[in-house]
Amino acid sequence: MQDFTSHLVWKCPQCGEVNSQEVSVPELNFAAEKTSDMVTNDFTEIVCDHCGTGFTGDVWVYPDHTEFEIEEPHKLSFTGDVPMYGPPEDEDYEPAEDPHSVAKEALAHLTAMVGSSGPDNDDQFTNRLIFSGAVASLEAYLGDTLINAVIGEPIVRDSLVKNNKVLGGERATAAEIATDPDILQKRIVEKLRSYLYHNLRLVMALYKDAFKINLVPEQDRRNLLFKAMERRHDCVHRNGSNKDGVKLTDFTDDYVREVIAAIEGVVDHVENERSNQLPF
């Protein structure tokens, strides 16, 4: 499963700089019957991006926000945004060895959670979390599958570099190559890790350039997923409200299940196409 995170903006008392971070937090108790019973609490540690100072204390996770109470080395408290499932942000993150199995397991768990009770004043809150988690699963699968292939299959890497103008523009000096023969591959992988894999237009081009795969050949599925990527932004950044501040109400059980099924269809389509290709 993807990390459960909350976005924080806080000022470091050690160096005075402001941090804007996604921080891992405990999952809400989605099995609870009452909203008040969904709250979870755990030890937490956050690190200032500027001075590297670590801060420890407790975090409380509520359906609509998080609360941090830091004890060491300074006492401070602050509130985080609505907790959400999201893709891993660690720059040192290593792709899963079997992204397909990871995605299938995550999507099965998410499907089983559809319709779970949410806050009393927002009955689609849990479905939005599930929806966001499903999109994050798709992002992780698409990124991990492509990066694994670039690292492990020279023909894929060569095809991607040949056909993609941006990645084909990566350069290294003779001295750099002499020091590290894998320098170009590492730079391509670093670039791939920086991409946002919910940008389906970008990812469709990458998969065509690398694998000669039409990522979403069915028009109906493509329309559904493109719209879902737009709604993902509303869920993650506005807690389900559009840019005009109007709360969206179409995250029904049927809609969320339909999106998860479409995502699973893309995942299986890629696996089938890859398995039908000649071995590299």
Q: Domain check: are 163 and 196 in the same one?
A: yes
Q: Is residue 175 in some structural domain?
A: yes
Q: What pLDDT band is residue 210 in, cutting at 50, 70 and 90?
A: very high
Q: Domain check: are 155 and 181 in the same one?
A: yes
How many angstroms separate the CA atoms of 148 and 24, rounded?
25
Domain span holding position 19: 3-86
Q: Domain check: are 54 and 145 in the same one?
A: no
Q: What percent of the chain has pLDDT over 70?
A: 90
Q: Is residue 92 in some structural domain?
A: no
pLDDT at 1 over 50: no
Q: What pLDDT band is residue 72 in, cutting at 50, 70 and 90?
A: confident
Q: Domain check: are 262 and 185 in the same one?
A: yes
Q: Domain check: are 168 and 216 in the same one?
A: yes
Last residue of a domain, one of 54, 86, 118: 86
Angle between the 253-276 and 200-211 helix axes, to the nearest 10 degrees? 20
Q: Is residue 94 in some structural domain?
A: no
Q: Is residue 138 in some structural domain?
A: yes
φ, ψ dihedrals at 61, nearest 5°? -110, 120
Q: Domain check: are 105 and 47 in the same one?
A: no
273 vs 246: which has the higher pLDDT: 273
Q: Is residue 91 in some structural domain?
A: no
Q: Domain check: are 248 and 126 in the same one?
A: yes
How many angstroms separate the CA atoms of 61 and 33, rounded?
16
Contact call for residues 64 and 128 (beta carbons, < 8 A): no
How many angstroms separate the CA atoms of 104 and 263, rounded?
10
Q: What pLDDT band is residue 280 in, cutting at 50, 70 and 90?
A: very low
Which residue do the tokens 């979403």 mark? Answer: 216
Structurally, how many domains does the chain consist of?
2
pLDDT at 32 over 80: no
Q: Domain check: are 76 and 105 in the same one?
A: no
pLDDT of residue 105: 92
Q: Domain check: are 65 and 110 in the same one?
A: no
Q: What is the pTM of this model?
A: 0.69
For 91, the token pair is 């720059």
CA atoms within 13 A of residue 236's CA, in its CB half-sphere: 20
Q: Domain check: are 218 and 146 in the same one?
A: yes
Q: Domain check: are 138 and 225 in the same one?
A: yes
DSSP 36: G
Element (H, E) at 104: helix 99-113
Q: Is residue 50 in some structural domain?
A: yes
Last residue of a domain, one of 31, 57, 86: 86
pLDDT 10s digits, 37-63: 788 988 888 888 888 888 999 999 988
Last residue of a domain, one of 31, 58, 86: 86
pLDDT of residue 90: 52
Q: Domain check: are 132 and 263 in the same one?
A: yes
Q: What is the mean pLDDT of residues 18-32?
A: 82
